[in-house]
Homo-oligomer: A and B are copies of this chain.
């Protein structure tokens, strides 16, 4: 997925959210945002939105001298999600199709967004798991592929969400699959890192690999050999969230072994997927 003009105000909105999370006073936020405008004008007009966002956000991190503005919020989200974990397991237990339910839980986790209030998330996410079907659903294709697979890689997205994904990891393991889960190599927004994986206990149920970089989405050129090896070895890739979709969609290396699991939280992503804003998606990549 390539950038459009509408991404430009969005880089700024993400920057403003980050500065608020970091506790910067409003007047300073305006000044900081004004100071990154020059960088935005130099960003690629052919690039991937998440990659451009990363450049802007890193500049902001540098300017305020805070390595991980979301650190506290990430821990809180993980704690919150861990509190729901028992419910997730119960939902899977009671389901006719455990794996399908686990994917529903995984997409519900993708609702978690630092810009939305916790209460709102809870209601929305629970509704997503219990009542709502995927608006795009390539589950049957994915299930068939998994039956003939050995290695599955999940490209993780946010903290909090990582707990929702743990249920999916467990279900894939029940099918006898070897699961590797990837986290970011360093802090970027509320993306999960190895610290999150350890906090929520994911490292004790499957192999966790870090991308070797702190960039939004998947950037093959900057990925660690370990990440690349796992990606190439995997028979099926499950890519969570928008930034991973933005970067993998249209990339031949993702191929038709990649399935995207996400909520379309941006109008451009929705357009690219051919769905409505807010829809939930389990979609196979067409290479």
Measured CB to CB, the residues of A under 8 A from B are 3-6, 8-10, 12-13, 16, 19, 26-27, 29-31, 33-35, 37-38, 40-41, 45
Contacts and interface: CB of A to CB of B under 8 A. Distances in A.
Given A27-B45, A45-B27, A34 B9 contact: no
A9 B15 CA distance: 10
A41 B38 contact: yes
Contact of A29 (B5, B13, B29, B41): B5
Contacts of A29: 5
Contacts of A12: 8-9, 12
A244 to B, nearest CB: 23
A8 B15 CA distance: 11
Contacts of A35: 41
A83 to B, nearest CB: 29
B40 A38 contact: no
Contacts of A4: 26, 30
Choose among A9, A10, A26, A35 the residue with the greatest number of B CB atoms under 10 Å from its CB. Answer: A9
A12 B15 CA distance: 15
- What is the oligomeric copy number? 2
A33 B45 CA distance: 11
Choose among A4, A34, A35 the residue with the greatest number of B CB atoms under 10 Å from its CB. Answer: A34
Contacts of A3: 30
Q: Which 3 A-B pairs have the closest CB atoms?
A: A9-B9, A9-B12, A5-B29
A59 to B, nearest CB: 14
A113 to B, nearest CB: 16
Contacts of A26: 4-5
Given A34-B40, A37-B37, A5 B16 contact: yes
Given A37-B38, A41-B38, A16 B27 contact: no
A30 B45 contact: yes
Contacts of A34: 8, 40-41, 45
A250 B8 CA distance: 32
A232 to B, nearest CB: 34
Contacts of A10: 9
A27 B27 CA distance: 33
A27 B5 CA distance: 8
A45 B16 contact: no
A3 B38 CA distance: 20
B37 A40 contact: yes
Contacts of A45: 27, 30-31, 34
18 contacts: A4-B26, A4-B30, A5-B29, A5-B30, A5-B33, A6-B13, A6-B16, A8-B12, A8-B16, A8-B33, A9-B12, A9-B16, A12-B12, A27-B45, A30-B45, A34-B45, A37-B40, A38-B41
